Structure 1
Amino acid sequence: MAEQYSILQKDFFRESGKWLSTVEIWKKCLNPNLHFIYVLRKSQQHLETPLLNVFWKFVLRHYQIKYGFQIYPETEIGEGFYLGHWGSLVINPQAKIGKNCNIAQGVTIGQQNRGTKAGVPIIGNEVWIGTNAVIVGGITIGNNVLVAPNSYINFDIPEDSIAVGNPARIYPNLKATDGYINNKI
């Protein structure tokens, strides 16, 4: 059933647990997080259309500055994307984020420029990233992973895990994100 809905509707479903009409989505845009997701997805939708691409990138840039989200339309982000709180969020445009992921404020998902882990992160499905977490380098975060607040991750995290601390320690847990990621698509 969810296949018939747009990626934008799937993002908004994560917040409300209901399938929303276009008018209902616009009403929800009073929330800064959802407003930014709306503009981001519109910008991503029009990457290949020259005039609309310029327009939506201009609008996106305005809201990046206004809300403190540094997320670019080139970033691959799966459906069901959820921003828990607004403010101070940086995601490298080459990062890849799976579906049904939650990201809190203060998070950095960035590039490492040297060493064996040079590159940008690939984040799996159903990953919850807590406040002020830092994820850097050419690493992979598996599916069903909870990254605790204030954690520093610069190495691969296996599926079904909880990562805690700086440097992070890994704790296997088959229910790592249960109760943290709601209204999954």
Structure 2
Amino acid sequence: MPDYTIIQKDFYRESGKWLSPLKIWAKCINPNLHYVYILRKAQRYKHNPVPALFWKIILRHYQIKYGFQIYPETEIGEGLYLGHWGALVINPKAKIGRNCNIAQGVTIGQQNRGKNEGYPVIGDEVWIGPNAVIVGSISIGNNVLIAPNAYVNFDVPSDSMVMGNPGKIYPNTEATAGYINNKV
């Protein structure tokens, strides 16, 4: 397989096709893909002062326009897929693995006190449903489905589903089958 850029890998998740830079730009009419494109540019240049400032300003504009609050400092693996746009908050110290789907209304944030004070670490191939909340210094394993409206402030093992508020874990080796498509 050729050496594709992280942006190409993110866009592959949406279409299942490897796209040229020109075709990627054409797909930026979609707000989700447009935001991912700008985010990845800001992440790419974050250590180069002049381009970093430019891309941070552009990113801030689109944070306000689209309702996504994801920062260049956030560690996110390749194959990010934002299913719908609006009201998405991810703490800059959170870590997210490869091939993750994040729906609208999701909060991935810090917990300020207690035994789980800190930020989440989310594994590979995790599907996070609408309005789910993931908080604290917790670890989410690989192949995990977090159902819509779930509240997760505890560790979740790989190959499982979390449902409810408070969340309850259900083991399932095919937790994300049919939810995580076009993996890179």
**TM-score for both structures, normalised by structure 2:** 0.99
Matching residue's letter, 1:60: L
Offset at residue 53 of structure 1 (A): 0.3
SS class of match (2:14): helix
Distance across 2 between alignment mates of 1:182 and 1:129: 14
Give the number of equivalent residue pairs. Answer: 184
The answer to whether the aligner puts 1:9 opposite 2:15 as a matched pair is no
Distance across 2 between alignment mates of 1:80 and 1:124: 13
Matching residue's letter, 1:151: A
**TM-score for both structures, normalised by structure 1:** 0.99
Q: 2:76 — aligned with what?
A: 77
Distance across 1 between alignment mates of 2:47 and 2:130: 33
Offset from partner CA, 1:51-98 (integer Å, 9 cap, x none)? 000000000000000000000000000000000000000000000000
Q: 2:145 — aligned with what?
A: 146
Distance across 2 between alignment mates of 1:150 and 1:87: 15
Matching residue's letter, 2:39: L
Moved over 4 A (4+): none
Offset from partner CA, 1:160-183 (integer Å, 9 cap, x none)? 000000000100000000000000
Q: Give the alignment of 1:35-184 within 5 angstroms.
A: 35-184=34-183
SS class of match (1:183): coil
Distance across 1 between alignment mates of 2:161 and 2:113: 27
SS class of match (1:14): helix
Offset at residue 109 of structure 1 (A): 0.1
Offset at residue 17 of structure 1 (A): 0.2
Offset at residue 152 of structure 1 (A): 0.1
Distance across 1 between alignment mates of 2:49 and 2:72: 14
Gaps of 5+ in 2: none
Matching residue's letter, 2:112: N
Q: Percent identity?
A: 72
Offset from partner CA, 1:34-65 (integer Å, 9 cap, x none)? 00000000000001110000000000000000
Distance across 1 between alignment mates of 2:5 and 2:170: 35
SS class of match (1:86): coil
Gaps of 5+ in 1: none
Distance across 2 between alignment mates of 1:28 and 1:176: 30
